[in-house]
């Protein structure tokens, strides 16, 4: 089952830089505005490595975002901006946050370690979404140039007794690193180097199966890169003398953060669909077509918070469609919807988003899987208020507000070997990049 390993992480030297100035959100969550802001914070901000600005490089001289990333990484090591742990470690990692849209404060506890890379066919690591070739190509180019991983794959494991947390969080003391991000999330990291604790942890995780929560593209990139280096890596491993567990070769593992899926600190937010730029779209015409598959009830004019409260009270597959002439609650009619979903695996037929993607986006609006995948006429937004306002300002045809996927639904779909519609889950908060770095050299 799951194999985890300590590692000699490279970390920012906190006597040389302020951690707040150099760590970032995951690369795929960095907007252009955030990218510019990160650049301005520090000449050592990790964005310069994981998501460089192309206009700053001279292509005619053979320079690219990837070659510059490798150059910066090497320079920061030489300058002492990044320093390496003397001993192999794992890192307890907690995130304290307020659940968006509420006053509820939660803490999500996990740990950072290396995790062995497995093909999905081995049924140790499970996915819940499809990946795209373009992001994987980008991450592979960065990996080849730098020989390092800068962010963690977000992995879920099941531990109802919370035995792993008890090993790590019994008596932590003062955190080794602490930073508050732009969303008000407090991230804390504790270094754990005691071989006895590490061995207890590896034993506790040995019977676990893992679900990728975030990081599918980076996981598959690392897996493919590992296969390319398998023969050469096996030769390296023959000379190892460490008493602690370690990968067969450096490329055989990737940096992961492991979180208990049975924890109350795990929060999944909804991701709303905003459809725009459709030729000849009319609100009345859409409602008429939707009535074949859904009951369509107009809601009183209100705001996104009210619409989400109404939607949250629904038990059956439902969502709110916000149109130019108002907001409507759409509830699935089993007699017409279920036959339309008959080709999907049973567990996927339980998801609200399967109804939305298969019937509404594809059949009613003509947005097939390729258009959805390429985001030709669709945007995904966490903020329901922003999604509603886009329609009211005439910048979108229709917004679909959705309920979040539950952890139980995710678990069932993933362990069955199925995948969910694109952008089905939004785990909050995200894992900070740059807290630890895994170098393959």
Q: Please tell me the distance from the alpha carbon of residue 258 to that of residue 311, in angstroms, as a whole number.
A: 32
Is 364's pLDDT higher than 90? yes
Mean pLDDT of 343-360: 92
**Cα 20 to Cα 169, 325, 432, distances in angstroms:** 24, 45, 11
pLDDT for position 145: 96
Mean pLDDT of 279-297: 96
pLDDT for position 376: 86
Q: Please tell me the distance from the alpha carbon of residue 212 to that of residue 215, in angstroms, as a whole number.
A: 7
Is 172's pLDDT higher than 80? no
Mean pLDDT of 217-230: 94
The model's confidence at residue 242, banded by pLDDT at 50, 70 and 90, is low
The model's confidence at residue 347, banded by pLDDT at 50, 70 and 90, is confident
The model's confidence at residue 233, banded by pLDDT at 50, 70 and 90, is low
> Residue 187: phi, psi to the nearest 5?
-105, 130
Is 63's pLDDT higher than 90? no
CA dihedral 137, 139, 145, 148 (to 10 degrees): -150
Q: Please tell me the distance from the alpha carbon of residue 306 to that of residue 272, in angstroms, as a whole number.
A: 15
Is 131's pLDDT higher than 90? no
pLDDT in tens, 409-422: 999 999 999 999 88
pLDDT for position 234: 60
Tracing tokens 């208990």 back to the chain, one arrives at 260
> pLDDT over 90 for what percent of the chain?
84
Contact between residue 353 and residue 420 where contact means Cβ atoms under 8 Å apart: yes
C-beta atoms surrounding 255 within 10 Å: 24
- Tokens representing residue 360 in the block: 């509404």
C-beta atoms surrounding 332 within 10 Å: 22
Is 238's pLDDT higher than 60? no
Mean pLDDT of 199-211: 96
Mean pLDDT of 164-182: 91
Mean pLDDT of 387-400: 97
pLDDT for position 434: 97
Q: Where are the alpha helices (DSSP H) in 291-420?
A: 304-312, 334-340, 352-355, 369-373, 384-392, 407-415
Across the chain, mean pLDDT equals: 93
User: Largest alpha-carbon pair distance within the chain?
Assistant: 72
Contact between residue 112 and residue 256 where contact means Cβ atoms under 8 Å apart: yes
The model's confidence at residue 319, banded by pLDDT at 50, 70 and 90, is very high
Plot region of 211 (φ>0 → left; ψ -120 to 50 → alpha; else → beta): beta
For 96, the enclosing helix (H) or strand (E) is strand 90-98
Strands 267-269 and 294-298: unpaired
pTM: 0.93
> pLDDT over 70 for what percent of the chain?
97
First to last CA, the chain: 26
Q: Please tell me the distance from the alpha carbon of residue 120 to that of residue 325, in angstroms, as a whole number.
A: 46
Mean pLDDT of 314-332: 95
Contact between residue 112 and residue 255 where contact means Cβ atoms under 8 Å apart: yes
For 182, the enclosing helix (H) or strand (E) is none
Q: Is the dihedral of CA 423, 424, 430, 434 positive or negative?
A: negative
Q: Please tell me the distance from the alpha carbon of residue 118 to that of residue 219, in angstroms, as a whole number.
A: 10
pLDDT in tens, 10-21: 999 999 999 999
> Residue 149: phi, psi to the nearest 5?
-115, 130
pLDDT in tens, 133-160: 888 999 999 999 999 999 999 999 999 9
Mean pLDDT of 325-332: 96
- Tokens representing residue 305 in the block: 């918070």
Q: Please tell me the distance from the alpha carbon of residue 325 to that of residue 288, in angstroms, as a whole number.
A: 14
Mean pLDDT of 232-257: 79
**Cα angle value 263/268/271 (rounded, 5°):** 175
Question: Could you give the count of Cα atoms lying within 13 Å of 31 in the half-sphere of its Cβ?
Answer: 4
The model's confidence at residue 436, banded by pLDDT at 50, 70 and 90, is very high
- Tokens representing residue 106 in the block: 């939660």
Is 240's pLDDT higher than 90? no
Q: Where are the alpha helices (DSSP H) in 267-365?
A: 283-290, 304-312, 334-340, 352-355
Domains present along the chain, CATH in parentheses: 4-267+428-439 (no CATH), 271-403 (3.30.1760)
**Cα angle value 126/233/436 (rounded, 5°):** 60
Is 208's pLDDT higher than 90? yes
pLDDT for position 38: 97
Residue 209 exposed, middle or buried by CB count within 10 Å (0-12, 13-18, 19+): middle
């Amino acid at each position: 089952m799951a194999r985890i390993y300590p590692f000699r992480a490279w970390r920012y030297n906190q006597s040389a830089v302020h951690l707040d100035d150099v760590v970032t959100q995951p690369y795929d969550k960095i907007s252009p505005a955030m990218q510019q802001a990160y650049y301005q914070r520090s000449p050592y901000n990790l964005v310069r490595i994981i998501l460089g600005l192309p206009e700053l490089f001279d292509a005619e001289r053979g320079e690219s975002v990837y070659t510059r990333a490798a150059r910066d990484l090497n320079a920061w090591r030489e300058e002492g901006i990044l320093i390496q742990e003397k001993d192999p470690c794992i890192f307890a990692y907690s995130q304290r946050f307020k659940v968006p849209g509420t006053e509820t404060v939660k803490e999500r506890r996990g740990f950072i370690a290396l995790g062995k890379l497995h093909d999905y066919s081995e049924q140790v690591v499970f996915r819940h979404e499809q990946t795209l070739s373009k992001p994987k190509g980008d991450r592979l180019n960065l990996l080849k140039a730098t020989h390092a991983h800068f962010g963690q794959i977000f992995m879920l494991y099941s531990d109802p007794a919370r035995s792993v947390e008890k090993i790590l969080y019994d008596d932590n003391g003062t955190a080794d690193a602490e930073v508050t991000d732009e969303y008000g999330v407090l991230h804390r990291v504790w270094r754990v180097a005691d071989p006895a604790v590490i061995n207890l942890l590896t034993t506790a995780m040995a019977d676990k199966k893992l679900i990728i929560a975030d990081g599918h593209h980076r996981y598959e990139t690392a897996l493919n890169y590992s296969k390319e280096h398998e023969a050469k890596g096996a030769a390296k491993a023959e000379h190892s003398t460490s008493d602690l567990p370690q990968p067969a070769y450096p490329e055989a593992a990737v940096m992961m953060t492991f979180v208990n899926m049975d924890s109350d600190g795990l929060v999944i937010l909804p991701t709303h669909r905003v459809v725009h730029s459709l030729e000849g779209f009319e609100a009345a015409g859409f409602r008429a077509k939707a009535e074949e598959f859904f009951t369509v009830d107009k809601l009183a004019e209100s705001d996104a918070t009210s619409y989400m409260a109404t939607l949250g009270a629904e038990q059956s597959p439902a969502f709110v469609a916000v149109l130019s002439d108002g907001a409507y609650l759409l509830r699935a009619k089993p007699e017409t919807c279920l036959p339309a979903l008959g080709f999907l695996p049973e567990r996927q037929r339980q998801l609200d988003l399967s109804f939305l993607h298969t019937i509404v986006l594809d059949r009613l609006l003509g947005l097939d899987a390729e258009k959805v995948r390429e985001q030709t006429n669709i945007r995904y937004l966490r903020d329901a208020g922003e999604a509603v306002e886009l329609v009211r300002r005439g910048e979108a045809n229709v917004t679909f507000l959705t309920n979040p996927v539950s952890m139980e639904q995710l678990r069932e779909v993933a362990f069955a070997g199925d995948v969910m519609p694109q952008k089905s889950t939004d785990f909050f908060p995200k894992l900070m990049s740059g807290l630890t770095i895994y170098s393959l050299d």
